[in-house]
Structure 1
Amino acid sequence: MPDWSYQTLFRPLLFWLPSRVARSLTLNAMRRVSLLPGGTLLIKTMGHMEPSPLLESAIAGIPVPTPVGLSGGVDPQGIAHTAISQFGIGFIEVGPVTLHPIESNSPILNDRERESIFYPNEYENEGLIRSLRIIDNPLHSLPQFVRIAPMPGVSVAQAVDEFRTLLETLSLTGAAGFYLDVLSIERSLEQTRLLLEQASALAIHAYQTTRKPMFLYIPLDFPDDRLEQTLRGTDISAWQGFVIGSSLRERDGVRIGRDGKTLALSKIEFLRTISPGDSVIKSSACIHEPQDALDMIQAGADFVLLNSGLVYAGPGLPKRVNEAIIYEKIRQTPPAEEPSFWKHWGWMCLLGIGMIAGGIIAWIIAASSVLLPYDEAFLGMSRSELEQINEHLLHFMSHDRITLAGTMISIGILYYQLAKNGLKYGLHWARTALLMSGIVGFPSFFLYLGYGFFDPIHAIAAAILFPMFILAMRRNPDRPSRNPVNTRNSREWRLAMRGQLCFVVLGVALSIGGIVIAGVGVTHVFVPQDLTFMGVTREQLEQANPHLIPLIAHDRAGFGGALFSDAVMLLIVALWGLQQGERWLWWTLLAGGSPAFIAGLSVHYHISYTDFLHLLPAYFAIALYIAGLIMLYPYLMKRPDDKMTVM
């Protein structure tokens, strides 16, 4: 459920359902996907969320792959932790966990205008015993930090006893550390300080016994002046850090959303002034777009946790936050020296130029003589003799070869552009797109050999271009992009999600089309509309010349293989490569797709092969292509630092 599908398809549907139903449906669906063979790989592939090593750090000595955590309120029962752990999350919060279950059947309310969620009971949870299942049996490797709290309304003495029981029990589990929710229940200043003092003693003892870090949980709406009165003069060395909550208390429950960012920033700044330099500060409040996370880090937070932002921005938010953090890390560092043209990327540029030149030559031949001398030699017939077999035969062969030529030009343009603007700079997605395209493209040369036809020019071209492909893929380690990234949930970004959906669907559709065409080419060769257009049967063609169908099969299989190679590359670009302000990519999509569509449609109309059902997939594809370009234009053509409209 990446952002391009969540924002466009799933979110509108889920927001019409009752919030509890929508949450259960979403979490269980993600869980089922993650438990399928290859399910977690599928999640990674759809979103390209594998975190960069540049994000690795430690929370009080505990290694985490990213500084972005999952708040406990997102998945309180741990249903989809395995799936969510693939989103670029670095650690997971479990809880709040209380000694006994706290249940509520009141509705959870979704305020779409304010981007906030109202919960009737902040402490709704399954209690200590059932929570052990979540903590002790994870199907992921991320560290889990457990937020523990006393039952609402208990006395200070009871709260201390419950904290002690919770710590003693949970310390025996795989929990990495604990957040002690000491300040949430309203008490007098004297009682609050007494509870904090005794909880601190428990935290010190627990840390000395287990070496698991203890964090003081601070409610988001805890008054700043009261927080200062509570903490000043107390020994805060008992805590390895602080966690700022995300809830704003209201009369009948709590609200979690965009409100309260100023409160969170002020608490971070205050805690940073009074705490030791090695204290860890986490903030889980009001992070709905990457800029919110950057603001928290700028104020002094070390880590952030995502909550309601995942509901409104989508599951790609952790990845976007990670990308923004990486950019902030590397923007001040000097860029690496650009690799020489001949090291790797230049060879791919030459391969692309070769494909473009080959496509242009093939187009010219297909639009004029159609046949090459070795085609006539294989058939044992001249062009004029073929025309006598059927007046539409050469037109049909020309239509196959022109569509192949347009696809070759499209591949060449994409190869050249991805090499010059992506491979050159070590962009992982660009290298993967080129690699996968070559892996499926070059073997397509062998698809038609079973029919006994050998295309010498095709073989020579493959022999020349394949070494270039190998040279381009060598010695090219991944490097992070140094270009600014999107940090806002702007109107341009939301529109781009629709454009991305168009190109993803287009990439999938063309991939299926390429496989089908190649499959037809090596089996039946013709579809019914082909034979209707020519007005002949397959048997009549075989009787006229037994080599005719193998020659046509060669063209069809070659086109299917080329289309699949092109489509795989386009799909990876659509899934992983769309970043705001990458103007070259918009022009690449425009220039790369145009030759294939122009070739395919123009030749059909030129030879009057205009069967609606036959051309319907092409009409569908070009509609997606044009719509995608229109919707991606504002996003790709506008720099992230340009003024954007935020919704």
Structure 2
Amino acid sequence: MPDWSYQTLFRPVLFRLPARVARTVTLNAMRGVSRIPGGTFIIKTLGHMEPSPLLESHHSAIIFSTPVGLSGGVDPHGTAHRALSQFGFGFVELGPITKEQQITTDPIRMDLTNEALLYPSEYENDGLQRFIHRIRNPGHRLPLFARIAADQAHSVDHAAEELRSLHHTLSHENLAGIYVEAISEKHDLTSNKELLQQMTELALQVRTTDHDHARQLLYLYIPLDFPNDELKQLLQDVDTSQWDGFVIGNAIHEQDRIRIGKEGLALCIDKLQLLREMTAPSAIIKATAGVHEPQDALDLLHAGADYILLHSGLVFSGPGLPKRINDAIIYNKISQTPPPPEPSFWKHWGWLSLLGIGMIIGGMIAWLIASSSVLLSYDEVFLGMTRTEVGWINPHLLHFMSHDRITLAGTMMSLGILYYYLAKNGIRHGLHWAKTAVMCSGIIGFSSFFLYLGYGYFDPIHAVAAAILFPMFILAMRSNPDQPLRSPVNLHNSREWRLAMWGQLCFVILGFALCIGGIVIAGVGVTNVFVPQDLTFMGLTREALNNANPNLIPLIAHDRAGFGGALLSDAVLILIVALWGLQQGQRWQWWTLLLGGAPGFVAGLSVHYGIGYMDFIHLLPAYFALALYITGLILLYPYSMSEVRSAKR
């Protein structure tokens, strides 16, 4: 469920359902995908959210692959943690955890205007024993942190004893750390002082009795809307250095519910600044409130947070939010560092540029031949017939063969343009997604040469072209270390971004559709060769063609299979660009899609009109693809052409 499907298709439907139902449907769907064979690979492929090594950090012996964590309230029952762990998170929170299960059937509501979730209870959870089972079977390898809370109705001594019991039980589990809720807005100042003092003594005891470097970390959990003046008094009266860190909550308490949403950001920044004033500079602080777009996360990090957790932002912005935040953090890190030296033209990207130029020239020559003589001399030798004699068999036969060869020529030109632009703007700068796109496309494209042999026809020009171009592909794929994108990335859920989600959806559908089309055409080319509409256009049967010349079908099959392979290679490039590559302000990407798609559509549609092959069913996939192509370009234009701007807060 990437943003391009969530924002466009799923969110409008899910937001019409009761919130609990929508959450259950979403998480169960994610769980279902992650549990099928290859399910996590599908999630990774659609989102390309693997964290960069540049994001890795350490706290004690704990390794965080990213500073972005998953809040416990997003998936309180652990339904889809295996799937969610693939979204670019560096750690996962469980809880709040209370000793006994707490359940309410009251509805969860949504404030769409203010982007907030309204929960009837802050402590609704499955109870300690079910959480222990979840800890032992997490379904992922991310560090786990548990937030523990006592029954708020009990006395301070009872609450302290309950927290100690929860900590003692969980201290034997595979947790990286525990968040202790020792401050509550429901207690008076005196009660909070007493409870905090007892829990600080527990933190001291853990520090002095457990000398294992891999011990669980203890964090003090601070309610988001707890009054600052009271918080100052509490922190002044205890030794805060005994805590490994602090966690700022995300709930704004109202009369009969809690509010978790975007409006918590300002309160969270205020709490961060206070904590930074009153704690050691080395103190680790996690912030959990109000992150709905990458700029929010940057604001929290700038205000003093070391790590952030996502909750309501995932609901309103979509599952791509962790990746977008990670990209923004990476850019902030590298923007002040000098770029690496630009590689030589002959290192790798230059060879891919030459490969692209070669395919463009080859496509133009093939188009010229296909629109004039159609057959080459070695084609006539293979058939044992001249072009004129082939035309005597049926007046539409040469037109049909021209139609196959022109569409192949247009696809070759599209491939060449895509290779050239990806070489110049992607491979040259070490962009991982660009290298992956070219690698997958090239393997498919050069492997499809063997489809030419499906009916026993060997095309010497294709063989020579492949022999010349393949070494360029190999040289282009030489050692080329991944480099982060050094251009500004999207920071806001702007109108341009939302339109771009629709544009991205169009190109993702187009990429998948062309992949299917390429596979089908290649499959037809090496099996039946013709679809019924082909034979209707020519006014011939397969048997009549075979009787006229047994080498005609192998020759046509060679063209069709070659076109199918080239189309699949082209489709993979478009699909990966759409899935992984699109970024705000990257104008070259828009021009790549425009120029890379144009020759294929012009060739395919113009030749059908030119020869009069206008069967609507036959051309319907092309019309559908063209509609997606044009619509996608229109919707992506504002996003691709606009500059990235930081928020003014």
TM-score by length of 2: 0.98
CA distances 1:467-486 after superposition (whole Å, capped 9, x unpaired): 00000000111110100000
Letter in 2 for 1:414: L
Write the distance in 2 (CA, Å) between the matches of 1:643 and 1:628: 27
SS in structure 1 at match of 2:540: coil
CA distance in 2, matches of 1:641, 1:406: 39
1:312-331 correspondence to structure 2 within 5 Å: 312-331=316-335
Question: What is the CA deviation profile of residues 285-341 of structure 1, one whole-angstrom value per residue up to 9, with x for unaligned ones?
Answer: 000000000000000100000000000000000000000000000000000000000
Match of 2:496 among 487, 492, 513: 492
Within the alignment, does 1:273 sit opposite 2:285 as a pair? no
The superposition leaves residues 54-86 of structure 1 with CA deviations (integer Å, 9 ceiling, x where unpaired) of 000023431111000000100111111111000
| Residue number in structure 1 paired with 2:173 | 173
The reply to whether residue 541 of structure 1 matches residue 545 of structure 2 is yes
Amino acid at match of 1:306: L
The residue matched to 2:258 in structure 1 has which SS? strand
Task: Measure, in 1, the Cα distance between the counterparts of 2:183 and 2:637.
Answer: 49
On the 8 A contact 2:152/2:159 being kept in 1, the answer is: no
Alignment partners' CA distance in 2, 1:260 and 1:163: 27
Q: Which amino acid aligns with 1:506?
A: L
1:75-114 matches, cutoff 5 A: 75-114=75-114
1:410 has 2:424 as partner: no
Deviations 1:197-246 (A, max 9, x none): 00111122234445211101011101111111211232101211100000
| Residue 485 (structure 2) aligns with | 481
Q: Is the 8 A contact 1:47 1:575 kept in 2?
A: yes
Question: What is residue 299 of structure 1 aligned with on the other side?
Answer: 303
Q: Judge conservation of contact 2:522–2:562 (CA < 8 Å) in 1.
A: yes
Residue identity matched to 2:584? Q
Distance 1:108 1:308 in 2: 12
How many angstroms apart in 2 are the aligned matches of 1:555 and 1:4? Answer: 36
SS, match of residue 117 in structure 1: strand
> For residues 560 and 208 of structure 1, what CA distance do their matches in structure 2 show?
69
Q: Which residue of 1 aligns with 2:640?
A: 636
**Is structure 2 residue 70 aligned with structure 1 residue 70?**
yes
The alignment partner of 1:580 has SS state of coil
Unaligned runs of 5+ in 1: none
1:376 alignment counterpart: 380
Instruction: Summarize deviations over 1:227-278 as a string: whole Å, max 9, x none.
Output: 1121123210121110000000011110000112111111111111221122
Range moving further from structure 2, 563-572 or 195-204: 195-204
8 Å Cα contact 1:400/1:556 also seen in 2 = yes
| Residue aligning to 1:397 | 401
Q: 1:139 deviation in Å?
A: 1.2
Write the distance in 2 (CA, Å) between the matches of 1:209 and 1:409.
Answer: 70
Q: What is the aligned partner in structure 1 of residue 337 from structure 2?
A: 333
Query: Counterparts of 2:70 and 2:518 in 1: how far apart (Å)?
Result: 40
The answer to whether the 8 A contact 1:60-1:280 is kept is no
Measured in 2, the distance between the counterparts of 1:425 and 1:19 equals 44
- Kindly state the Cα deviation for residue 556 of structure 1 after the two structures are TM-superposed: 0.2
Aligned residue in 1 for 2:234:
230
1:623 aligns with 2:591: no
Deviates more, 1:76-85 or 1:609-618: 76-85
1:435-455: CA deviation from partner (whole Å, max 9, x where unpaired): 000011101111121312110
Q: Measure, in 2, the Cα distance between the counterparts of 1:448 and 1:471.
A: 25
Identify the range of structure 1 (325-334 vs 210-219) with the bigger mean alpha-carbon deviation. Answer: 210-219
Identify the residue that residue 520 of structure 2 maps to in structure 1: 516
Partner of 2:137: 137
> Per-residue deviation at 1:642?
8.1
Q: How far apart in 2 are the matches of 1:606 and 1:42?
A: 42
The aligned counterpart of 2:607 is: 603
Report which stretch shifted further, 412-421 or 32-41.
Answer: 32-41
The counterpart of 2:225, out of the listed 198, 221, 224, is: 221
Matched residue, 1:562: 566
Q: Distance in 2 between matches of 1:349 and 1:78?
A: 48
Identity of aligned residues (%): 66
Q: How far apart in 1 are the matches of 2:24 and 2:39?
A: 19
SS in 2 for 1:337: coil
The code of the aligned residue for 2:565 comes to G
Whole-angstrom CA distance in 2 between matches of 1:637 and 1:93? 38
Q: Which residue is 1:30 aligned to? A: 30
Counterpart residue identity of residue 67, structure 1: P
Asked if the contact 1:207/1:214 (under 8 Å) is kept, the reply is no
Q: Any unmatched runs of 5+ in structure 2?
A: none
Please tell me whether the aligned partners of residues 590 and 637 of structure 2 are also in contact (alpha carbons under 8 angstroms): yes
Q: After alignment, is 440-449 or 619-628 more displaced? A: 440-449
| Partner SS state of residue 182, structure 1 | coil
| Runs of 4+ residues deviating >4 angstroms | none
Deviation at 1:185, TM superposition (A): 4.2
Instruction: Name the counterpart of 1:146.
Output: 146
| Matched residue SS, 1:79 | coil
Aligned equivalent of 1:188: 188
Aligned-residue RMSD, C-alpha: 1.2
Cα distance in 1 for partners of 2:235, 2:41 equals 46
How big is each residue's C-alpha offset from its partner over 1:351-390, in whole Å with a ceiling of 9 and x where there is no partner?
A: 0000000000000000111111111111111111011000
Letter in 2 for 1:353: I
Q: Does 1:119 align with 2:119?
A: yes
Conserved? CA contact 2:508–2:579, under 8 Å: yes
- Given that 2:92 and 2:145 are in contact with CA atoms closer than 8 Å, whether structure 1 keeps it comes out as yes
Displacement after TM superposition at 1:595 (Å): 0.4
Check conservation: 1:94, 1:146, Cα contact below 8 A: yes
Between 209-218 and 278-287, report the one with greater CA deviation. Answer: 209-218
**Equivalent position to 2:471, from 467, 473, 486:** 467
- Of 503-512 and 106-115, more deviation after overlay is shown by 106-115
| SS in structure 2 at match of 1:552 | helix
Note if contact 1:167-1:206 (Cα within 8 Å) is conserved in structure 2. Answer: no
Q: Report the Cα distance in structure 1 between the residues aligned to 2:398 and 2:595, rounded to whole angstroms.
A: 29
Take 1:642 and 1:381, find their aligned partners in 2: how far apart are those partners?
68
Match of 1:167, SS state, is helix
Matches of 1:165 and 1:435 in 2, distance apart?
Answer: 55
User: Shift in Å at residue 643 of structure 1?
Assistant: 8.9
Instruction: Please tell me whether residue 571 in structure 1 is matched to residue 575 in structure 2.
Output: yes
Q: Which residue of 2 aligns with 1:21?
A: 21
